[in-house]
Amino acid sequence: MKIWDFIFPEGKEIIIWGAGKNGLMWFNTLVSMDKKIKCFFDKNAKQNEIKNGMQCLKPIEQKNFQGKYIVLISPMSNVDEIYLQAKQYGFEEIIIGNMIKFIPNDKNILMDNMFPGLGHFYSLYPDLINLQAQYETVKKCAVSNNQSDGIDLNKEKQIQLLYEMNKMFDSRIKWADINDLAESNYRYRIHNQAYPINDALVLLFFIKDFKT
């Protein structure tokens, strides 16, 4: 199943909240994927207004819609306000269109939205409360010079390994540039943005240290 089919299931109609530039962009995107659009909601909608062949309605006049549809919030601003308003109208499935750049004032908006919870591997947002608790624990361990729970830092060995790896730097492999079309004895090439040189060097030094 494609991610779009999970977020916007087949047969479920979508209300696009906001009929501005972003709303029209979402309309074109969803129509191109054969998704069903019910209408636009816009606080500035005029009477009998039509946008891209769809009704454009004022949200305050449409409380009878309730939870039948998916609401897609398209604006960049006032997202918290729109989200809460949609909730008050009884909508249960609410998608924030610009989720990547949206930082909510109310973290509960994230908790009950159709995205992984705070701190989840796939979440765009950390769980700040949990992060603060972990920070305080680590800070106490640093002050008392104790090990973190369940982690053997083995500091002496790490420092020794760092010295050994530093000695290997001058004998590092001379990789070709990724933009150089000439043949090379090595698959890896420098200036590879997907796997930068610092990561490649550390892995190389780990392997050399392990083999010796």
Sequential pLDDT tens for the chain (212 residues): 466 777 788 888 999 999 999 999 999 988 988 899 999 999 898 988 898 899 998 887 666 666 678 899 999 888 888 888 888 888 888 888 876 555 555 555 554 554 556 677 766 666 777 777 877 777 776 666 666 666 777 888 888 988 888 888 888 888 988 888 888 888 889 888 888 888 999 999 999 888 87
Query: Could you say which DSSP state residue 105 is in?
Result: S
Domains detected in the chain: 3-115 (3.40.50.720), 129-211 (no CATH)
Written as one letter, the residue type at 142 is A
Query: Could you say which DSSP state residue 143 is in?
Result: H
**SS3 for 158?**
helix
pTM value?
Answer: 0.51
How many Å apart are CA 212 and CA 203, to the nearest integer? 14
Angle at 62 between CA 61 and CA 65, to 5 degrees: 170
Give me the count of residues in the chain.
212
**SS3 for 51?**
strand
